[in-house]
Amino acid sequence: MYEEKIYQDKVLTCKECGQEFVFTAGEQQFYAEKGFQNEPQRCKKCRDARKNAGKPQREMFYTTCARCGGEARVPFQPSNDRPVYCSECYAVLKKH
C-alpha cells in the first residue's frame, strides 16, 4: 500500500550566494513526484540568474500609452500605425 509522506518546510543555504532559502513542503512534494533525488542547491534568484545567463537581454523601448498617456515599456520598436498600451491598460483591454 502507498504511504503518503508528510513534508515540512526546510531551510537550505544557497551554494551560489550563501543566503538561506526555504525549500517548502509543496516544493519537496513536487520534487518527489517528479522523481528528483537531490534538493535544490541554489535559491530561486540564483537559479533564475543561472538559467538566463546565456540568454541575450531583451532591448526594451519606451513610448506613451495610447489609452492613459502614461509611460509604456515594450519589447518591440513601436511604430505610429498601431496603438501601444502600458501593462495596466493592456490587461484591462485584454479582459474585454
pLDDT value, residue 79: 87
User: Does residue 69 come out as left (phi exceeding 0), alpha (psi in the -120 to 50 range) or beta?
Assistant: left
Render pLDDT for 8-54 as a digit per residue (tens, 0 to 9): 999 999 999 999 999 999 999 999 999 999 999 999 999 999 988 88
Please tell me whether the overall predicted TM-score, pTM, comes out greater than 0.75 for this model: no
Quote the distance between the C-alpha of residue 27 and its chain's center.
Answer: 16
- Sign, Cα dihedral of 85, 87, 89, 95: positive
Mean pLDDT of the chain: 91
Query: Is the confidence at residue 4, as pLDDT, over 70?
Result: no
Contacts of 77 (CB under 8 A, 6+ apart): 61
- Which of 1-5, 12-16, 72-76, 78-82 shows the lowest per-residue confidence on average (mean pLDDT)? 1-5
